[in-house]
Amino acid sequence: MVVTRPLLGAPLAAEIMAAVHERVEAGRTAGRPTPCLVSLYRQIPGSPFVFYARQQEKAARQVGIEFRGEIIPPEMDRVALAARLRELERARDVHAVLMEHPLPSELDFDGAVAELGVEKDTDGVGRANLGRLAIQRPVQIPAVALAAVKTLRHYGYEIGGSRVAVVGRSPTVGLPLAVLLASKGEWGNATVTLVHSRSSNLRGLLAEQSIIVPCVGKPGLLDRSVVPEGAVIIDIGLSSVPDPSRPAGHRAAGDADMASLEGWASALTPVPGGVGPVTVAQLMANVVHGWELLEPAKRG
Ligand code: NAP
């Protein structure tokens, strides 16, 4: 029987956070102003946006980044939202802007984020950043995609030359990850299979893969009936499932069925505690990257 290695996110997240903190300190010493992240989100009952904003605020505070949470009011339309992002793009004291998604289609996520320059589009989900990633001249790369590849690297898995399946092709998660993995850059050179809701024969598509990265949002989608024995699973999926044994009545779940894959997959990122904390840390690294580009050092 295979012994499944748990790929915990905390050690890598701590490493990234320590490096970010050092860069913030060095930048401040060199005369840069405090980096500032603005996170825009809707306040919908039952949605995880408020929780995400709290996590970001806590991480930002740890590394010396100013955090401003901004609620998108229910009456705000696409014109007003785009205007707000234009304002934030012009604001000299703001270095990073994050817009939580999904947004209702009438708010036009893509059109709103397009108001941001590549440096301030801190999660790299605007069309300019995605286009730059596609031509292999990235500025900001989606934090979750970097979290997935950094987790592999941290635990010693070779990406170059490996066969990797990305399950899910959204423009903010699966697609940029697949592009990154297939690119010639330092996080790439994999042979990538991109699986989506119209793909048929999931088991057949995954059969030859050594690494599988689900990013779908369907708990239990991957179990040992479709995953080849010995595969490494980097589980990006994050859903809330009912669990009467928990005080909250629910718990977080990934796309991988952990119980089924234990003793079958060679390694697995748990949910919670896997890719999530690394993504938050990487988001802070993206903030600092944009800040360094926007604020040339004055001394040093
Ligand atoms: P999304 O926009 O809903 O995209 C889901 C993708 O999954 C789509 O491309 C869809 O295919 C595909 N899909 C749906 N059913 C499928 C099936 N049966 N087989 C194969 N593919 C299927 O979601 P998202 O924004 O990309 O997020 C995906 C997941 O990642 C969510 O659970 C989200 O919470 C999580 N997430 C986690 C983090 C983190 O830090 N851990 C960060 C961001 C997102 P079509 O394109 O054909 O519709």
Q: Return the amino acid letter for 295.
A: E
For residue 94, the CA-to-ligand 1 centroid distance in Å is: 30
- Per-residue CA distances from 4 to 12, 94, 100, 159, 208 (Å): 19, 43, 33, 19, 19
Query: Which numbered atom of ligand 1 lies nearest the CA of 171?
Result: 26
Indicate if the pLDDT at residue 204 is higher than 60: yes
3-state SS assignment for residue 7? coil
Question: What is the CA(216)–ligand 1 centre distance, in A?
Answer: 3
Residue closest by Cα to atom 6 of ligand 1: 168
What is the side-by-side strand order in the sheet with 211-214?
5-6, 267-268, 232-233, 211-214, 163-167, 191-195
Span from the CA of 78 to the centroid of ligand 1 (angstroms)? 24
Q: Which residues pair with 41 in a beta bridge?
A: 71
Residue with the smallest CA separation from ligand 1 atom 4 is 170
The answer to whether the beta carbons of residues 129 and 118 sit under 8 Å apart is yes
The token duo for 54 is 């709290």
pLDDT at 183 over 80: yes
143-276 shares the fold of 31-120: yes
Do the beta carbons of residue 274 and residue 232 sit within 8 Å? no
pLDDT band at 222 (very low <50, low <70, confident <90, very high): very high
Q: Mean pLDDT over residues 218-237, rounded?
A: 98
Examine the pLDDT at 136 and tell me if it is beyond 60: yes
Query: Would strands 96-99 and 66-71 be described as parallel, antiparallel, or unpaired?
Result: unpaired
Which residue's CA lies nearest to atom 15 of ligand 1?
197
- Which ligand 1 atom is at minimum distance from the Cα of 280? 40
**DSSP three-state, residue 154:** helix
Using the atom order of ligand 1, give the atom closest to the CA of residue 169.
Answer: 9
pTM of the model: 0.97
How is the chain split into domains, by residue range? 31-120, 143-276
Q: How far is the CA of 100 from the centre of ligand 1 (A)?
A: 15
Q: Domain spanning 143-276 has what CATH number?
A: 3.40.50.720
Nearest CA to ligand 1 atom 40: 276
Protein residue closest via CA to atom 8 of ligand 1: 168
Predicted pLDDT of residue 152: 98
The string of pLDDT tens digits covering residues 20-49 is 999 999 999 999 999 999 999 998 887 888
Choice from 110, 179, 215, 269 to test ligand 1 binding pocket (greatest atom count within 8 A of CB) = 215
Whether omega for the bond prior to residue 242 falls within 30 degrees of 0, making it cis, is: no
Binding pocket residue ranges, ligand 1, CB within 6 Å:
144, 167-170, 172-174, 195-199, 215-218, 221, 236-239, 275-276, 279
Q: Each residue of 121-130: pLDDT tens digit?
A: 999 999 999 9
Compute, in angstroms, the gap from residue 173 CA to the centroid of ligand 1: 7
Atom of ligand 1 nearest to the CA of 48: 34
Distance 217 CA to ligand 1 centre (A): 5
What is the pLDDT, as a whole number, of residue 238? 96
Taking CB atoms within 8 Å and a gap of at least 24, the contacts of 87-93 are 88/38, 88/116, 88/120, 89/115, 89/116, 89/117, 89/120, 93/33, 93/36
Pick the CATH number of 31-120 from 3.40.50.970, 3.40.50.10860, 3.90.25.10, 2.40.50.140: 3.40.50.10860
